[in-house]
Structure 1
Amino acid sequence: MMTMRTLLLASTCAAMAAPALADVNIYTTRQPELIQPVMDAFTDETGIAVNLAFVDDGLVERLKAEGARSPADLVMTVDIANLKQIVDAGVVQPVQSDVLTAAIPDTLRDSENRWFGLTTRARIVYASKDRVADGEITTYEDLASDKWKGRICSRSGLHNYNLALMSAVIAHVGEEAAKTWATGVQDNLARKPEGNDRAQVKAIWAGECDISLGNTYYMGKMLENDEQIEWANAVDIIFPTFEGGGTHVNVSGVAMTTAAPNKDNALQLMEFLVSPQAQSIYAELNYEYPVLEGADLSDLVAGWGTFTADDTNLSELAANRPVALRIMEEVNFDG
């Protein structure tokens, strides 16, 4: 059985101090403690050690600066925009794996196999338990209705999560109708966009607005926080759909770097991450949904209810992002 060894990871502005010594090296934009348990399960099963390096900012710049000397085998990040960025930068390579393509729906992986979704998160509506009736909102299109005038809170329209949703709106209704929709939602805002998704739930709790957009996993995060649990208990989760479509989802994903000094081990880990065991662990740790059909949900996530994920390919959403950004700027969504 292989032993754990130490990897000294260089900063973007420093030369490599030592060669890569680990069995698999990962740069991750997710806090390592959020994914360490699934890595431990992989090591227990295979004897292959995994070293996680948290890279909060400048991931692409770091990989480009390191070039062929990079110790990183894999990159793990969230949101289709970030996955497209690493592809466009040319710092990841295609991976051919029947295991990966069988486990992951084609809407949740790159058509050229350069990135693969591992978990999904739905962009849902948080609604006041006291001020929003059952069935009052059912579609994303509803958000532009006059009945929500002065009742919606939102984080910045220029944030990746909202741009991904806007990209999905474009995919469903086209550019002009999407601009009309964005204008309608902006007109319905109760306040200027500010804060993160949790801040919108706090605003609902405080009576500043009645509904907000947010990712599902924030409910789990709030329920484990002594201060924020009161906010969480003030709202219901509603899974809106597109007219003729499903609920918008985004992904956390993985890609193999161009350098990948431990390619075989890295591929073994990628395939492990879509196994039923790993999918259930990974999804439960982050209050997300597995990409593998039939993998177990956490009891908490299962309690939020069921939904049908929209089947628009995430690669199409990535392609729509520049238009989504332009529309949000043109309608002055952030005021």
Structure 2
Amino acid sequence: MKKLLASAILMGLAAPQVATAAEEVNVYSYRQPFLVEPMFNEFTKETGIKVNVKFAKKGLAEKLEQEGEYSPADVILTTDISRLVELSDKKLVQPVDSKLIDGNVPAQFRDNEDEWFALTLRSRNVYSSKDRVGKLPASFDYADLAKPEWKGKICTRSGKHPYNVSLVSSMIAHYGEAETKKWLEGVKANLARKPQGNDRAQVKAVKEGLCDLAIGNSYYLGKMVNDENQKAWAEAVYINFPGQEGNGTHVNVSGMAMAKYAPNQANALKLMEFLTSDKAQEMYAEVNYEYPVKEGVKRSELVASWGDFKADDVSLDKIAQYHNAATKLLDEVKFDL
């Protein structure tokens, strides 16, 4: 019966073919093919290890739970700290002991128990209208979003989106729940419209004059600049890094973890170490306009043009502890309503 169950689970997987040979490694990925496949090809070229990938937009944690010990997954790639912590909390991953990875990934961007590691950084920025606001001063902070002067002038996506939940979590880490709730009430009062759309839609709204400020991740600006249909949106705003005279700009991550029942652990480790290498980090930076997690790796020319910034130094581990509290506060203030 146990063998029959294992066969049924494995047959249920769509392409790619399940790896069983020592020269293969299986990846479950939320990251899009255009971003990671060039790196996997380079890894295979250097090591001879074939990378089999299953791409998904959601549900990887649930899939791993269903597969249990029969899962073929070796490495999991995902975005946002909340999704990485979910894998750890559900005991779907295992600790990885690698001095190479520890040397490449700063402590604040990896799990205290070495169960997940950041691969890239993305800052949570405030975009301002070039025509109506101009560049925001270096003293501008997230707290300023709640000031009455911005009433009816701010656009954002849903407060419950992981990117915003992480930002609210970081505010709790710095100021506590009571102050963060007051801040959320102030930001809600300043919204130009009900939270909706994605980060790019907020910049579009600034271009169209619906709002003067928009909250969004940094790499979307790079994507818009290089999209003929959206370039005008990007050209209508300045990118600002809040907190430069305070706690610093909030950063989130994309990251990786080794699956709990990884059948190809040695190859999984090799792939994970490669993804933190200079070569892979440079590829991430050029293709997706993200910040390399490894210090000293060159940013893309476009990202470098935005200037340096001070990142919030609160560990992502600590920020993740407040995700439930952040969601609760967003509900209490009825942010999305």
Answer yes or no: same fold by TM over 0.5.
yes
2:258 to 249, 256, 281: 256
Distance 1:235 1:299, change over 3 A: same
Match of 1:20 in 2: 19
> Aligned partners of 2:155, 2:246: CA distance in 1, in Å?
26
Does the alignment pair 1:125 with 2:123?
Answer: no
Paired with 1:19 and 1:285, the residues of 2 have a C-alpha distance of: 28
Q: Aligned to 1:111, what secondary structure does the other structure show?
A: coil
Q: Return closer, same or farther for 1:333/1:13 CA change in 2, 3 Å cut-off.
A: farther
The answer (yes or no) to whether the contact 2:141–2:243 under 8 Å persists in 1 is yes
Deviations 1:199-220 (A, max 9, x none): 1011000000000110001011
User: 1 CA distance for matches of 2:10 and 2:232?
Assistant: 41
* Residue 283 (structure 1) shift: 2.1
TM alignment of 1:222-241, pairs within 5 A: 222-241=224-243
Amino acid aligned to 2:55: F
CA distance in 2, matches of 1:289, 1:296: 9
The 1:148/1:250 distance shift into structure 2, 3 A limit, reads same
- Percent identity, please: 52
Q: What's the counterpart of residue 76 of structure 1? A: 77
Distance 2:9 2:164 in 1: 31
- Alpha-carbon distance in structure 1 between the residues aligned to 2:67 and 2:287: 31
Q: Which residue of 2 aligns with 1:276?
A: 278
Q: Which deviates further from its counterpart, 92-101 or 32-41? A: 32-41
> Which segments of 5 or more consecutive residues in structure 2 lack a partner in the other structure?
1-6
Distance (Å, rounded) in 1 between the aligned partners of 2:226 and 2:306:
16
**How many residues are aligned here?**
327
Contact residue 141 and residue 246 of structure 2 kept, 8 A: no
Look up the match of 2:3: none
Matching residue's letter, 1:231: W
Residue 293 (structure 1) aligned to one of 272, 291, 295: 295
CA distance in structure 1 between the partners assigned to 2:59 and 2:11 by the alignment: 11
- Equivalent runs, 1:51-200 vs 2, <5 Å: 51-136=52-137, 138-200=140-202
Tell me which stretches of 4 or more aligned residues in structure 1 moved more than 2 Å.
Answer: 9-22, 133-137
TM-score by length of 1: 0.93
Note the aligned Cα RMSD (angstroms). 1.9
Cα distance in 2, alignment partners of residues 12 and 115 from structure 1: 25
| Paired residue secondary structure (2:322) | helix
- Paired with 1:139 and 1:307, the residues of 2 have a C-alpha distance of 13
Alpha-carbon offset, residue 12 of structure 1: 9.2
In 2: Cα distance, 1:15 partner to 1:300 partner? 39
Please name the residue that 1:319 is paired with.
321
Q: What CA deviation, in whole Å up to 9, does each residue of 1:190-240 have, x standing for no partner? A: 111110101101100000000011000101111222211111111110001
Contact 1:273–1:279 (CA under 8 A) maintained in structure 2: yes
Distance 1:16 1:223, change over 3 A: closer
Paired with 2:331 and 2:244, the residues of 1 have a C-alpha distance of 23
* CA separation of 1:13 and 1:71: change in aligned 2, threshold 3 A: closer
Q: TM-score, normalised by structure 2?
A: 0.93
Matching residue of 2:216: 214
- Displacement of 1:14 in angstroms is 2.7
- Greater shift in the superposed pair: 17-26 or 84-93: 17-26
Conserved in 2, the CA contact under 8 Å of 1:141 and 1:243? no
